[in-house]
Structure 1
Amino acid sequence: MTHPSAPAVRPADLTQARDRAAPRVGLALASLSLGSFVIGAGEFGIMGLLPTMASDLGVSIPQAGLLVTGYALGVVFGAPLLAVLTSRWERRRTLFLLALVFFAGNLACALAPTYTLLMAARLFTALAHGAFFGIGAVLAAEIARPGKEAQAISMLFVGMTLANVFGVPLGTVIGQAFGWRSAFLVVSALAAATAAMIYLFVPVSRPRPGVRFAEELRALVRPPVLLAMSLSVLASSALFVLYTYIAPLLVGVTGLAETSVPYLLFVLGTGMTIGNLAGAKLADWKLMPSIMGLFAAMAAILVGIHVFASSPVVMVALMLLWGMVVFGLTSPIQMRIVATSQGARNLASTINQSAFNLGNAFGAWLGAMMISAGLGYDALPLASAALALSALGVAAVSWRMDGRASRG
């Protein structure tokens, strides 16, 4: 008995099918990018509002700065925990639930009557941060057209960059005009929109086998991987020692009015966007020399911020350059982690979020300790520069290990 053969699928038919699916893929990636924007705005949005929040909550600015540390620690512990708990879950459903966590968490931040409850709400919100990026990156690559996986993943992280360019300055303007709680309400509303878009536009993911975390954990403790992760920690620490307290520095040392702070934050965010694009090209050119050069440039710029902190005109230029080198390191460090974590790339992608936020927590805490000890805000750039030079040393050691491995 014979069966009629299925009609041959022509290349033109496949092209037409992909073209028809392209708008839906675009909407799915836009949903993930909006989620990334929400995370960035929620995490970094308080940078320009620390003085206002401290005054309203009856705490010092260093205590308010610890809200950044608390969020970062939530990411540090939440990323690996949720990576294990959700390893067998369908990805779209997981991302939908994570978006609801951001909605509820930021709403709780807006309504928190005390500093303690606000800290608890920040911790709760942060638990979903690392898992969203880890799962979102995998899903973005899964739904992308063949050969476009990297571009799809970059669309996810565009939202975080835009959060620094537009979200942080706009959040500062909204918070200054209507109270800091209103900024959290806006982020919460955007998180609800993210959840709706994920539900409507993100396709159901393919089934996946269970992840063997024990094997991946063993792969992660190799010296090259640990050195690469330490670069992420030190880069983040160098950023957040100063970034956490950028608003009081610009007001108290540079002499700007509070209403001018959003404009400087916009300049900083613009530099971050330029650096993010340039850093990817540098990483493809020469990875480790680029990392070392960027850390050296970061240290020099931070010393410049210390020296010229009282000059508004020079600070505009330095904010742009600082943003460029900080985010110029993002892609090269990520590539270094992927290159050294053979056999553990899935877990390494998630753990890198923990590494970055461990540096975030340490940097914000170190800045708070320096201010509480009586050091001025203009001393913070020097601490950041010292951390950047430490990272430069780690990068040099890591590069030398590569040379030994290639010879041995």
Structure 2
Amino acid sequence: MSSLDPPVLTPTRTRMALFALALGGFGIGTTEFVAMGLLPNIARDLLPHLWATNQADALAKAGIVISAYAAGVVVGAPTIAAMAARFPRKTLLAWLTVAFTVGTIASALAPTFATVVIFRFVAGLPHGAYFGVAALAAAKLMGSEKRGQAVAFVLSGLTIANVVGVPAITYLGQHTSWRVAYLAVAGIFALTTVAILAVVPHQDGDPHATVARELGAFKRPAVWFALLTGALGFGGFFAVYTYVSPMVTEITGSPERLVPAALITLGVGTTIGNVIGGKLADHGALRAVLWLFGALTVAFFAVIVLSPTLPGLLVALFLVGLAASAISPAIQTRLMDVAGDAQTMAAAVNHASLNVGNSLGAFLGGAVIAAGWGYLAPTWVGLALVVPGVIFALAGWFVTRGRAGIGQRDVSGTTPDDGDEAEILAAASAPLGS
């Protein structure tokens, strides 16, 4: 049996292992996105004087909490991936979820705005490495021909968090405290640790991995273009998502209690989009990215046109979630295609790039609000970021066009597991769908 084949497990054990990996994504999605719905609560509690004088400025400053987490992802993803690729995946995943648990508890108990920002940065450090290693573990379980769907399955926890976890924890935080909300999230991470230790099978790390080899992925122009594409695409998404709460209350004039409904609607869109993106990625990752940027553009225009009423805003947010979420597994698969043998790094830094977009979108969205341009202005930021995103996607195709077309895998890429090199290269160079 080739090392590319999934380990021999019963179907029940495989499903349980995939569920445990997705549960970690559920916790990450909750801890990352719950701040969007609780941003006014955080601002009122940690910035009371600014909130009393200028709520727009207070919301913009509170957005730093979101940017800090994203910055932690950016720093942690390549650092941990470079150092930890050799370690057994199950052990590494368990330690990463322990780190999430500790960092989230510290965030909840931090006494001041500055210390909350620091601990949100710390809590973000394991994010990219977890998704990267979990994606590789899931790909091993599902087999090399379902890489995109394996990535999407792990990300399904994150998208389901937007349907269930984020609205539920937002509701809890609105009726108790945002600190209680984060303690509840820490409980999810603790449960994930137990689940991983109980049901995820042992998988060796890459014994040949070195820091230099993993960092070698950054010598490939196509890797940089893919990362920039993801950062800009998700920058536009987060420019809108970060300020969903004031869009609901200020643009539509709806009460704050309806913010969870908006988050659920957006979350349903991301859940469906993630599944679509995984399937599209298995039939041509780069082609999927280009189509999905077009869909995201349409979704942003829908926000601009439909947002004056709550039903219209809900429809538009569903479309934004659908298009943006579908981009993520496509970008992840594209990176795995072009990263050569630095697969752990490729799988991890995708989330670093997406969180650069998170930080960029939150910052730019807050800046245009603070400038007095209104709560719809972040949507125009999202539209502006689509243009360079498409340009970088096309640039990535340009530098690899001699080896693969838009509908093919790049022959310099590998599948996400070690094994016979010739078999890996043959699998990676085959046209998708063959």
TM-score by length of 2: 0.83
- Which residue in 1 is equivalent to 2:195? 197
Counterpart selection for 1:51 from 37, 40, 47? 40
Partner of 1:6 in structure 2? none
User: Which residue of structure 2 lines up, in the alignment, with residue 376 of structure 1?
Assistant: 374
What displacement does 1:400 show?
A: 4.2
Aligned equivalent of 1:388, options 382, 386, 389: 386
Give the drift of 1:81.
Answer: 1.5
Query: For residues 322-369 of structure 1, what are the alpha-carbon distances to aligned partners after superposition, in whole Å with 9 as ceiling and x for unaligned?
Result: 111111212222222222222333311112121111111111111122
**RMSD of aligned C-alpha atoms?**
2.4
SS of the residue corresponding to residue 340 of structure 2 reads coil
Higher mean C-alpha deviation, range 251-260 or range 83-92 = 83-92
Cα contact 2:82–2:214 (8 A) shared by 1: no
1:332 & 1:207 partners in 2: Cα distance? 24
1:240-293 per-residue CA deviation (whole Å, 9 max, x = no partner) reads: 111111111111112111111111111111111121122233334454443223
Equivalent residues, number = 390
CA distance in 2, matches of 1:349, 1:18: 24
Retained in 1: the 8 A contact 2:135–2:151? yes
Q: Secondary structure at the match of 2:203?
A: coil
Amino acid at match of 1:125: A
Equivalent of 2:323 in 315, 322, 325: 325
Shift in Å, 1:144:
5.0
Q: Is 1:83 equivalent to 2:72 in the alignment?
A: no
Distance 1:79 1:207, change over 3 A: closer
Deviation at 1:166, TM superposition (A): 1.2
1:145-187 deviation line (CA, Å, top 9, x unaligned): 7877765554322211111121111121111111211211111
How far apart, CA to CA, are the structure 2 residues paired with 1:76 and 1:313?
A: 36
**More deviation, 22-31/138-147:** 138-147
One-letter amino acid of the structure 2 residue matched with residue 136 of structure 1? A
Task: Provide the residue aligned with 1:113 in structure 2.
Answer: 111
Higher mean displacement: 35-44 or 145-154: 145-154
Secondary structure of 1:211 counterpart: coil
Give me the whole-angstrom Cα distance separating, in 2, the residues matched to 1:122 and 1:94: 21
Matching residue of 2:16: 27
Tell me the residue number matched to 2:61: 63
Q: Retained in 1: the 8 A contact 2:20–2:192?
A: yes
How far apart are residue 141 of structure 1 and its match?
A: 3.5
* 1:132-153 per-position Cα deviation (integer Å, ceiling 9, x unaligned): 1122223333455787776555
What SS does the aligned partner of 1:329 have? helix
* Residue 226 of structure 1, CA deviation: 1.4
Q: Partner residue of 1:350? A: 348
Deviates more, 1:353-362 or 1:392-401: 392-401
**Distance in structure 2 (CA, Å) of the matches to 1:405 and 1:89:** 32
**Which deviates more from structure 2 when the two are superposed, residues 356-365 or residues 149-158?**
149-158
Inter-partner Cα distance in structure 2 for 1:379 and 1:255: 17
Structure 2 counterpart of 1:4: none
Instruction: Verify the 8 A CA contact 2:21 2:134 in the aligned structure 1.
Output: yes
Tell me what 1:269 maps to: 267
Stretches of structure 1 lacking an aligned partner (at least 5 in a row): 1-16
Q: Distance in 2 between matches of 1:247 and 1:272?
A: 17
Displacement of 1:299 in angstroms is 2.0
Question: For the residues of structure 1 that align with 2:348 and 2:320, how far apart are their CA atoms?
Answer: 26
Point out the structure with max Rg over C-alpha: 1
5+ residue gaps, structure 2, are 1-6, 51-57, 406-434
Q: Check conservation: 2:72, 2:121, Cα contact below 8 A.
A: yes
- Say whether the 8 Å CA contact 1:268–1:323 is kept in structure 2: yes
- Counterparts in 2 of 1:250 and 1:207: CA distance versus 1, 3 Å: closer
Q: Distance in 2 between matches of 1:145 and 1:301?
A: 34
Task: Select the residue among 177, 180, 195 that pairs with 2:178.
Answer: 180
Q: Which amino acid aligns with 1:173?
A: Y
2:308 aligned counterpart, secondary structure: coil
- Does residue 338 (structure 1) correspond to residue 327 (structure 2)? The answer is no
Structure 2 vs 1, CA of residues 96 and 281 (structure 1 numbering), >3 Å: closer, same or farther?
Answer: closer
Give the letter aligned to residue 306 of structure 1.
I
**Kept in 2: contact 1:47–1:168 (CA 8 A):** no
1:302 aligns with 2:291: no
Tell me if structure 2 keeps the 8 A contact 1:220–1:344: no
CA distance, structure 2, for counterparts of residue 22 and residue 325 of structure 1: 31
* Amino acid corresponding to residue 35 of structure 2 in structure 1: I
Q: 2:27 aligns with which of 27, 33, 38?
A: 38
Give the corresponding residue for 1:11. Answer: none
3-state DSSP of counterpart to 1:377: coil
Going from structure 1 to structure 2, the CA distance change for 1:140 and 1:169 (only over 3 Å counts) comes to same
> Matched residues in 2 for 1:163 and 1:284: separation?
24
Q: Deviations over 1:376-398 (max 9, x none)?
A: 11111001101012212222333
Distance 1:146 1:282 in 2: 15
Render the CA deviation track for 1:23-47: whole Å, top value 9, x for unaligned.
3333332222111111110011111
